[in-house]
Amino acid sequence: MTELEPQWAPMRDADAKRVWHEVLQPVALQLRESSAFLSAEIVRKVRAEGADLFTEVPDTQEAMSSSEEILRLLAQIILTGADPSRIELPPAFAAMIRGAVWRHVPLSFHTQNYRRAHQDVWQWMFNRVVATAPSSADLVIAVDLLTILLMNFVDRSLMIADQVHEAERNTWLQGAAASRAATIDDVLAGRERDVGAASARARYDLGRHHLGMIAWLDRPSDRHDTLSYLSEVVAGVGRSVGVESSVTHPLGSSAVAGWASGRRPLDADTVARQVLDSSATGLPDGVSLSLGEPGQSLDGFRRSHLEAGHARRVASLMSSEATAVTTYGDVAVLALCTADPEHAARFAARTLGRLAEPDDHAARLAETLSVYLSARRNRAGAAKRLSVHPNTVSYRVRQAEELLGRDIDENSLELRIALSLLPAVGGIDPTRGLDR
């Protein structure tokens, strides 16, 4: 055996170096020669113990090839006296780790099997060290060196495996996220009409029933994880109502679109009540949510999102009066009428006259008149909703008529629409956008 100078520090002691030459190097030669047989035995043992990764021949061959490369690397380290803490993973093992990411096999599966294989290899080598060591003293030295070397080898291998797995996982996630985002963009733009192809690319079943939603921060935040934070809010809403899956899509830097899907239609009002009424599923402070109406397949996916967008727009216009959750069904008329907010503001100002003036007195009269008309001119019903006396309602309605300058029966439809628009367009200058 050629006299080599070991690079690994524990082997540089005179006795350790001698045992390395006389015991460990001969055993390493046996390991290299037996690597194919031993790797086959290791994989067979893993399969026999119920592991479910190697269910197909290609997987078994991949594992055997990886194991053989690792065993040959280990043998080479011992033969040359290399430092086991400085190794690089063999290509086959790195490829298997990367493949595990794409097959959704957790790294812990490989870690467990790798450590099990380490025990088998240590036992195999221990038996041969016992047979090779010329004395009990040399046996102790050889076993100590072998144990420490294998521990460093395994620790280094698993550390690199973790790095490879994490890097590949990030690549996979970025690729999956990019593919999903592009697919959702295509569906929302009407460019994608194949539900099967879109589902495969998005990794989300687009053929099911969907409930579109948008979650956003209603005030500026210095959070660095805003989009992931809002995505978790959407996922939490989905879990709270028992949906089978959910998906999110970024909308700028402080809002995300989301969809919850199931085999049966979801009711937006039920979801809204559950989110608002339950402390467990309530929205975090500062987060608002809008919901579209449920829809099915690609058209329903797109339509529900568009409706959630309209509901969000109305909620933003009515920021001072909006609740944390706004459903499209509750604001559909407002959404229709405020598609052009400046036009809506001019309509409200022209229809309501002085009743649209931005002061508390006019606002109180407008609110009373709106509730009174919604209650079908029932003074008692309006008074109950406003928590005032019926006579107060009558008095305020007369005052509102004076500000209007006409009877409330005149152009009553326009009047009701204008009153409903007022909270949403009250802060908009009705002259903005007009030629001066």
pLDDT in tens, 203-226: 889 999 999 999 998 777 767 778
- Which band of pLDDT confidence, cut at 50, 70 and 90, is reported for residue 320? low
Predicted pLDDT of residue 103: 65
Map the chain to HEC letters: CCCCCCCCHHHCCHHHHHHHHHHHHHHHHHHHHCHHHHHHHHHHHHHHCCCCCCCCHHHHHHHHHHHHHHHHHHHHHHHHCCCHHHCCCCHHHHHHHHHHHHCCCCHHHHHHHHHHHHHHHHHHHHHHHHHHCCCHHHHHHHHHHHHHHHHHHHHHHHHHHHHHHHHHHHHHHHHHHHHHHHHHHHHHCCCCCCHHHHHHHHCCCCCCEEEEEEEEECCCCCCCCHHHHHHHHHHHHHHHCCCCEEEEEECCCCEEEEEEEECCCCCHHHHHHHHHHCCCCCCCCCEEEEECCCEEHHHHHHHHHHHHHHHHHHHHHCCCCCCCEEEHHHHHHHHHHCCCHHHHHHHHHHHHHHHHCCCHHHHHHHHHHHHHHHCCCCHHHHHHHHCCCHHHHHHHHHHHHHHHCCCCCCCHHHHHHHHHHHHHHCCCCCCCCCCC
Predicted pLDDT of residue 435: 47
Mean pLDDT of the chain: 86
pLDDT 10s digits, 244-281: 788 998 887 788 999 999 888 888 888 888 887 765 45
Predicted pLDDT of residue 223: 72
Q: What is the pTM of this model?
A: 0.59
Structural domains of the chain, ranges and CATH numbers in brackets: 9-172 (1.10.490), 204-336 (3.30.70.3400), 340-425 (1.10.10.2840)
